[in-house]
Structure 1
Amino acid sequence: MQNSDIDAGLTPPPVMPKVERQRLHDTVVEHIRRFIVEGVLEPGKKLNERELCETLGISRTPLREALKVLAAEGLIEIEPNRGASVSKMSEAEMRETFELMSGLEAFSGELAAERITAAELTEIKALHYAMLACRTQNDLAGYYSRNQAIHDKINEAARNSALRQAYIAVNRRLQALRFRSNFQIPKWDSAIHDHDEMLKALEARDGKRLSAILRQHLLDKRDAVLQIQSREDAAAAKLKA
């Protein structure tokens, strides 16, 4: 009897509902994050919960949980009694955040050149060639996902957990802007050239060279984004005039 009672007390509760809920939560967060990155949800846009629920096929509870996560990442702003809207960075914030990211990327490259394994380098090469294939097909979304995977793999290869945490936090705020930086074909092709040079430096284990390329790569993206923003602001001003 005692053994039976002990066995009954040690029987773990079912865990599947919790696993499924977490999976749904992560999926909703990822979908909305992608909508923001790819410009489906534009900066400053007020979010319609009903429309998002219908689009994603979910109830409001997982949606609101996801919005809280995205608010913590700085992608969403939630105001009491006014709902949620997509965050919009000021010009000064864009400049400063890209400058910070350029330093994080540069340091990642310097460390990765010293610490990357042959298997990791092979994986980055495969992503690079897949990225080039997307460019020939004018598949910006496919190109961007592989582009970001390359940057992410370089950061992982740096093997510095503090750097990794800072990189993830800052990069989430910039992903939508990094995506927009390739809207102009010359800028897109320039980014491709940078990635060719990154791969060469990585293969040569030339940390200083890779660091310099990554830093300038991010600053060029900053300039492209600010140029696009300036044109859009000018066009908006004309419409109001």
Structure 2
Amino acid sequence: MSARPAETDQPAKEPRRKGRLHTSTVDALHRMIVTGDLEPGQKLREQELCERLGVSRTPLREALRTLAAQGLVQLTQNRGAEVAPLTLADITALFDVVGSLEALAARLACKAMTDEAIAEIGVLHYRMMLHHVRDELPDYFALNQQIHRAIIEGAQNPVLLGVWEALAARVERAKYLPNLQPNRWKAAMHEHDAMLAALVARDGNELGRLMEAHFHNGLAAILAANGAEAPPETAVDGSA
């Protein structure tokens, strides 16, 4: 009796490989947009990006559609793909809404989070502090985002989490801008020190106040960098 040929799991592996490629392409483009490597309004040329990322046109186009759904890319029939514009009005609206969401999450999280979960945020905080000391902004910012997400998730409110996640990509992009200013970055680190202390003390009202102020201070830094009288449709410049 002849042996049966060995079965292969190649068909099962193929979707996983494509999934990983899609995720890595989205992540790379997301990082380039958030950090300003790809600027607001910049046309996204497929050939150039394919060469830069080492991917073909199909995964690139799929990634661009994902980023368009997140509000980071605009797709138009005649112009193709470009980085979505970012105006002072956009940032003001985003910071007002998400600042309020995170203030609510803070009050809920102080009641709902376990001691272990709070301790994990403390570990992230001190790792973030180290990146600040080393002037490693991208690494600092990645941990910053993890901390904010951990507090949102710690609220254990799926409706709040869903609303926050729908805005997360655009907010992340806007939040990166103030930290390009050294004085604001230093102040933001001090604000996170106070936020951690309030979380450890489970003082939800104080943590909520601090988190909302954190967004307002970031917005003030962006407005100052662009001139107090800048009209709301002005494209932002966070480098001042």
TM-score (structure 2 length as normaliser): 0.89
Q: Which residue of structure 2 lines up, in the alignment, with residue 87 of structure 1?
A: 84
The CA distance in 1 between the partners of 2:68 and 2:172, in whole Å, is 15
* Pairing partner for 1:169 from 157, 160, 166: 166
Q: Which residue of structure 2 lines up, in the alignment, with residue 220 of structure 1?
A: 217
2:60 partner letter? L
Kindly, what percent of the aligned residue pairs are identical? Answer: 39
State the shift of 1:32 in Å: 0.4
Q: Which residue of structure 1 lines up, in the alignment, with residue 4 of structure 2?
A: none
The CA distance in 2 between the partners of 1:36 and 1:230, in whole Å, is 23
For residues 193-234 of structure 1, the C-alpha deviation after alignment (integer angstroms, 9 at most, x for no partner) is 110111111011100000000001011111112223349x89
State the shift of 1:13 in Å: 8.8
Give the conservation status (yes or no) of the 8 Å contact 1:33–1:70: yes
Bigger shift: residues 175-184 or 71-80 = 175-184
2:205 partner letter? K
Which SS does the other structure have where 2:226 is aligned? helix
1:33 partner letter? H
* Pairing partner for 1:193 from 177, 183, 190: 190
The CA distance in 1 between the partners of 2:191 and 2:80, in whole Å, is 41
1:199 partner letter? L
Give the conservation status (yes or no) of the 8 Å contact 1:177–1:225: no
Which SS does the other structure have where 2:43 is aligned? coil
For residues 55-107 of structure 1, the C-alpha deviation after alignment (integer angstroms, 9 at most, x for no partner) is 11000000000000100111000110211111112222221111001111101
Q: Which residue of structure 1 lines up, in the alignment, with residue 148 of structure 2?
A: 151
The CA distance in 1 between the partners of 2:171 and 2:148, in whole Å, is 13
1:142 partner letter? D
Which SS does the other structure have where 1:42 is aligned? coil
Bigger shift: residues 91-100 or 25-34 = 91-100
Q: Which residue of structure 2 lines up, in the alignment, with residue 9 of structure 1?
A: none
The CA distance in 2 between the partners of 1:106 and 1:16, in whole Å, is 43
Give the conservation status (yes or no) of the 8 Å contact 1:47–1:86: yes
Which SS does the other structure have where 2:104 is aligned? helix
TM-score (structure 1 length as normaliser): 0.88
State the shift of 1:137 in Å: 0.6
Hey, which bits of structure 1, 4+ residues long, moved more than 3 A?
none
For residues 165-197 of structure 1, the C-alpha deviation after alignment (integer angstroms, 9 at most, x for no partner) is 111121211212211111111111111111011
Give the conservation status (yes or no) of the 8 Å contact 1:25–1:65: yes
* Pairing partner for 1:62 from 46, 56, 59: 59
Which SS does the other structure have where 2:51 is aligned? helix
Which SS does the other structure have where 1:78 is aligned? strand
Greater share of helix residues, 1 or 2? 1
The CA distance in 2 between the partners of 1:173 and 1:17, in whole Å, is 32
- Structure 1 residue 27 and structure 2 residue 43: aligned? no
- Structure 1 residue 127 and structure 2 residue 134: aligned? no
Considering only aligned residues, what root-mean-square deviation do their CA atoms show, in Å? 1.9
The CA distance in 2 between the partners of 1:70 and 1:226, in whole Å, is 26
In structure 1, the gaps of 5 or more residues are 1-11, 237-241
The CA distance in 2 between the partners of 1:148 and 1:29, in whole Å, is 17
State the shift of 1:52 in Å: 0.7
For residues 13-35 of structure 1, the C-alpha deviation after alignment (integer angstroms, 9 at most, x for no partner) is 93111111111111111110010
- Structure 1 residue 37 and structure 2 residue 41: aligned? no
How many aligned residue pairs are there? 224
The CA distance in 1 between the partners of 2:217 and 2:103, in whole Å, is 14
The CA distance in 2 between the partners of 1:88 and 1:230, in whole Å, is 18
In structure 2, the gaps of 5 or more residues are 1-8, 236-240
